């Protein structure tokens, strides 16, 4: 077995370029997709066109900003329509001319929204707008009532009245923020440490799992080159058993793939701030089980296909599609299809991703890795046993 590993390491010196590519590509994708898919401060972009440009329209904008959910962007009508039509924003808000006059006249003010499709964010915005306008009305009513009372005891000119009303309105808003009519308190049971989730974490875990699979498969796939060059026939007639031959290839692929994964882990931890070391024992356990499973799958594929060219065609299709199903390229949390969620349970990437996200993102303990690791090990044993059986029954 050691001789097999030694020969593989010698061959690596003359054929290291593909493995460098397998290391460089996921690092590039990790940075690019992490920054592109990340949503910055997590706020929803809300383009706003203020046609009224009045005191009350500005108050509405300030109310929306105070909610903390929306990233308000004031723009003209054409830019707002472009943002919505290009799906840069789900909804655009238009404050029509006469908004303030409607409020002062005691009428229901109207607002316009541009949308391309209905979404939960649209319904949420409707509720926020209703609450914001009601709050503005309350503040205006309180300010008007206060001014009416003061005018009975003080002589106010038009300028003084306007200034005093603005100050009362401002104080009313401040007191509303300081003491809400309803107080809500809550606690999190068994939270553990802080939960930290962003798209860099998703891409770091996902691309580490997805692209290491290429390294595992193609490292084992060198067996096909030896079969084409008739070197495999010489190995078969050697005193080494089939189990030792396959074990040597398995250990070499494991060493190469684990080295790639740990490099990506260190870069994700040191550069992107992904908390890989939150439960290092659990991470190692999952990665070890995943490595064994994937290398065993590579041995099975090398036993089934006949040439390295066939492997180069079949492997990318199989690995990319299964990585998509397993949640390596996007979070499974956003998937609603029960069929796809069920399919993620039959691919190794799905089990590895769920286990790693449970301990890295959701700060769960070792109990979260036992079942996924056991499933991955059983998959590996099944792949390995099938590969040995196929190899034994293959004609020499």
Q: What is the pLDDT of residues 355-367, one digit of tens each?
A: 988 888 878 888 8
- C-alpha distances in angstroms, 38 versus 107, 135, 197, 354? 42, 33, 10, 20
pLDDT tens, position by position, 33-81: 665 554 444 567 888 999 888 878 888 888 888 777 788 889 888 888 8
Domains and CATH numbers, the chain: 2-37+198-393 (no CATH), 44-178 (3.40.1710)
What is the DSSP code (8-state) at residue 276?
A: G
178 is written with which tokens? 């300081």
Q: Nearest-CA neighbor of 198 among 361, 386, 49?
A: 361
Q: Do the Cβ atoms of 372 and 230 come closer than 8 Å? A: no
- Where b means 16+ CB within 10 Å and e means fewer, 332-353 reads beeeeeeeeeeebeebbbbbbb
Q: What is the pLDDT of residue 242?
A: 60
- Distance from C-alpha of 316 to C-alpha of 221, rounded to nearest angstrom: 13
Distance CA 196, CA 211 (A): 24
Q: How is residue 234 written in tokens?
A: 């010489």
What is the rounded radius of gyration, in angstroms, for the C-alpha atoms of the chain?
A: 31
Can you name the residues that pair with 94 across neighbouring β-strands? 49, 112
Q: Comparing C-alpha atoms, which of 394, 387, 208, 229 is closest to residue 295?
A: 387
Q: pLDDT per residue over 128-149, tens digit each?
A: 888 777 777 777 777 677 767 7
Find out whether 293 and 216 touch, Cβ atoms under 8 Å: no
Cβ 25 vs Cβ 211: under 8 Å: yes
Does position 111 have pLDDT exceeding 80, yes or no?
yes
CB 344 within 8 A of CB 332: yes
Give the torsion sign (CA, 81, 82, 84, 85).
positive
pLDDT value of residue 351 = 92
Does 113 have pLDDT greater than 70? yes
Is 96:50 a contact under the CB 8 Å cutoff? no
The four Cα atoms 374, 378, 381, 385 give a dihedral, to 10 degrees, of 170
Model confidence band, residue 370 (pLDDT cutoffs 50, 70, 90): very high
User: Strand 91-95 relative to strand 112-115: parallel, antiparallel, unpaired?
Assistant: antiparallel
Residue whose token pair is 């008007």:
144
233-254 average pLDDT score: 64
Between CA 353 and CA 372 the distance in angstroms is 9
The predicted structure's pLDDT at residue 189:
45
pLDDT mean across residues, the chain: 75
Instruction: Give the residue carrying structure tokens 């009508």.
Output: 77
pTM score > 0.95 for this model?
A: no
H-only helix segments in 305-366: 308-325, 338-343, 348-360
Q: Give CA separation, 314 vs 200, 208, 304, 311, 388, in Å.
A: 29, 21, 11, 5, 20
Element (H, E) at 119: none
Beta bridge partners of 93: 48, 113
pLDDT in tens, 272-285: 778 888 788 999 99
Q: Where are the beta strands (DSSP E) in the chain?
A: 44-50, 70-74, 91-95, 112-115
DSSP 346: G
Of 104-108, 153-157, 243-247, 352-356, give the range with the top mean pLDDT.
352-356
Helix (H, G, I), strand (E, B) or coil at 29: helix
Q: Is 211 left (phi over 0), alpha (psi -120 to 50) or beta?
A: alpha
More confident residue, 226 or 358: 358
pLDDT (mean) for 11-20: 69
Beta bridge partners of 47: 73
């Amino acid at each position: 077995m050691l001789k097999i590993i030694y020969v593989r390491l010698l061959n690596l010196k003359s054929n290291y370029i593909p493995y460098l590519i397998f290391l460089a590509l996921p690092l590039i994708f990790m940075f690019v997709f992490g920054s592109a898919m990340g949503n910055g401060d997590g706020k929803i972009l809300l383009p706003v066109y203020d046609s009224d440009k009045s005191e009350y329209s500005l108050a509405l904008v300030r109310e929306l900003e105070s909610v903390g959910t929306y990233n308000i962007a004031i723009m003209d009508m054409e830019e707002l329509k472009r943002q919505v039509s290009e799906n840069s924003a789900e909804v655009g808000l238009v404050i029509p001319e006469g908004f303030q006059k409607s409020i002062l006249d005691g009428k229901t003010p109207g607002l316009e929204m541009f949308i391309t499709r209905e979404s939960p964010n649209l319904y949420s915005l409707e509720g926020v707008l209703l609450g914001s306008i009601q709050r503005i009305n309350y503040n205006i009513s309180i300010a008007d009532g206060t001014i009416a009372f003061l005018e009975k005891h003080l002589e106010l000119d038009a300028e003084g009245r306007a200034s005093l009303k603005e100050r009362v309105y401002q104080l009313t808003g401040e007191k509303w923020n300081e003491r809400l009519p309803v107080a809500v308190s809550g606690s999190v049971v068994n939270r553990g440490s802080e939960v930290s989730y962003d798209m860099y974490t998703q891409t770091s875990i996902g691309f580490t799992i997805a692209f290491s699979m290429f390294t595992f498969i193609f490292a084992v796939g060198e067996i096909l080159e030896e079969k084409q060059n008739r070197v495999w026939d010489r190995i078969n007639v050697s005193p080494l058993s089939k189990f030792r031959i396959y074990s040597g290839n398995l250990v070499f692929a494991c060493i190469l793939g684990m080295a790639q994964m740990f490099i990506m882990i260190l870069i994700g931890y040191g550069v992107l701030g992904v908390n890989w070391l939150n439960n290092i024992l659990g991470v190692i356990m999952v990665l070890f089980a995943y490595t064994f499973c994937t290398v065993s799958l590579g041995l099975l594929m090398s036993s089934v296909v006949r040439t390295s060219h066939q492997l180069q065609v079949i492997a990318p299709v199989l690995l990319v599609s299964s990585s998509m199903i397993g949640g390596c390229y996007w979070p499974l949390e956003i998937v609603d299809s029960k069929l796809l969620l069920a399919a993620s349970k039959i691919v190794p990437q799905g089990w590895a991703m769920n286990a790693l996200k449970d301990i890295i993102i959701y700060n769960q303990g070792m109990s979260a890795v036992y079942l996924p690791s056991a499933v991955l090990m059983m998959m590996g044993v099944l792949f390995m046993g099938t590969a040995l059986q196929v190899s034994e029954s293959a004609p020499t």
